[in-house]
Structure 1
Amino acid sequence: MISVFGSANMDLVAYTAVVPGRGETVTGHAFRTIPGGKGANQAVAAARAGAATCFVGAVGDDAFGPVMRDTLAGAGVDVSRLRVVPGSSGIAHIVVDDDGGNSIIVIPGANGTITAPSDEDLAVIDRSDALLLQLELPMEAVVAAARRARVPVVLTPAPVQDLPRELLGAVDLIVPNEHEAAAITGLADPEEALKALLDLVPEAVITLGAEGALYGARTGRPLRVPAVPVRAVDTTAAGDTFVGALAVARAEGRPQEQALRFAATAAALSVQRPGASTSMPTRPEIEAALA
């Protein structure tokens, strides 16, 4: 089982030819309301990739809350630890251009009310094969979950920010994209950034978009896995798809290169569809693409 302690947001997505600059107005050609949030996305990705998955988080008592709960449950995610709190659910305003690139503003809402996992949350987490964390919850909550969990901890350091030493000391695998890796380490070259990350945590994967992914551990040689060549429609949640699928493959005991290829294939399938949770592939789709 995979446990995810993280955010649930409603994504308000505008599609336009070019993302507007400051002070600029452009005309879009479509708008969608899609359940997302990095935590919820990773939970859906893991469930669709074939794992029993539990999501620990919060939604508001607004109209978006039930929609996000139903979306998670509909993907097969256990939502028994999804709490409802007064006020707004988390919101993400997303603009997607015709090349599939995006810019995002996240408003925490209910996610900001979580300060730590409860004992009941931890009881579920500690029965799982891995705990997935991101940084859309308050840092104190992320640190508390990482330090108190008794299972391998996988951290997606996004939105990128300073990482407390007590958090890094509890993380087993960190999965930044190349921009996040550069921000954390101060090194633009991914191979050098990987070396620096391994001074902080035992294992790291840097996702490189169309260039694939770079994996390293404190023992052994780095491993680079190429991306699956596709035409991207919307890259929203590609990283979350990668992490969810990677967690599933590792929990199943796949060799590291096979696990990375499984994750890269899942991410490649997701960018060919619009949206976040709506774009994530199922286990049969991933296996068919691998074959």
Structure 2
Amino acid sequence: MSPTRRNAQLTTALVLLTPDGERSIISQDDDLDGADIAEAARRAAGGWLYLDGYRFPEAASVLPDRATRVVVDLDGCETRAAALAALTAAEHVVLGRSQATALLGDDDACAQLARRHGVHLVVTDGGRGALLIPPQGQPESIPPIEVSVVDSTGAGDCFVGAYCTELARGTPPARAARFAAVAAGLSCTRAGARAGLPHRAAVQSRLDTGGSGPDSGSPGKERTPCDAS
């Protein structure tokens, strides 16, 4: 945890939650700058570094060329130029369907960009699951799981965190994305972004049953949102 800053301002966020478990978050950005990113990349050399979309395009200019294995959650990225800079710097990029369409284009366009930049693109699509687009080979659909949605706050962050964790364990990207989709789904069955985070054993158990099985929510199942945007 040495790259974690302890001397910056404390950011705040306003979370709006609807009765059906959907949410919107209005947040204040932090003041992480290029020097901090470069230092984090130096410390992570040979390992993994996670960055969000707010850091681009600036982050691309301070990251060593592929010396660090970079995962970017494009949440916060607002322009196509910034998104393309992230694709250039990263090994894996996660973004929501609406953001992918707005910044990169349709699935064919995303596949072309994945090949051109040598990056794995994971396009999340709420209750419809996700799509993994590798730099080589065919895209793979990642199905959602059915759960009783209580609170979807943090589901996208859970997806990205679980995806990164599995990659760091040496899990192939397609399996990591399936694991992340289940984790995000289970996270929606309890109120609160942190309280809802599932244990790895619970995610693995759900995977072992083919995505079926009980969840901790109330009756009335819905397909879970796992949108990282």
**TM class by smaller structure:** 0.7 to 0.9
- Structure-2 residue corresponding to 1:236: 153
What percent identity do the matched residue pairs reach?
A: 30
3-state SS of the aligned residue for 2:16? strand
**1:92 paired residue among 10, 13, 28:** 13
Structure 1 residue 224: deviation in Å? 0.6
One-letter identity of the residue aligned with 1:235: S
- Structure-1 residue corresponding to 2:111: 195
In 1: Cα distance, 2:174 partner to 2:13 partner: 33
- Structure-1 residue corresponding to 2:41: 122
Q: 1:152 to 1:288 in 2, by over 3 A?
A: same
**1:273 paired residue among 173, 176, 190:** 190
Contact 1:227 1:264 in 2 (8 A): yes
Contact 1:146 1:167 in 2 (8 A): no
3-state SS of the aligned residue for 2:12? strand
Q: 1:197 to 1:146 in 2, by over 3 A?
A: same
Matches within 5 A, 1:81-160: 81-85=3-7, 88-108=9-29, 111-117=30-36, 121-128=40-47, 130-137=48-55, 139-140=57-58, 142-144=59-61, 146-147=63-64, 150-160=67-77
Structure 1 residue 290: deviation in Å? 2.1
Structure 1 residue 85: deviation in Å? 3.0
In 2: Cα distance, 1:276 partner to 1:197 partner: 32
- Structure-2 residue corresponding to 1:56: none
Tell me which protein shows more strand as a share of its residues.
1
Matches within 5 A, 1:1-291: 78=1, 80-85=2-7, 88-108=9-29, 111-117=30-36, 121-128=40-47, 130-137=48-55, 139-140=57-58, 142-144=59-61, 146-147=63-64, 150-162=67-79, 163-164=81-82, 165-187=84-106, 191-198=107-114, 199-291=116-208
Where in structure 2 are there 5+ consecutive unaligned residues?
209-229
Structure 1 residue 181: deviation in Å? 0.6
Where in structure 1 are there 5+ consecutive unaligned residues?
1-77
Structure 1 residue 149: deviation in Å? 6.1
Q: 1:135 to 1:180 in 2, by over 3 A?
A: same
Structure 1 residue 279: deviation in Å? 2.3
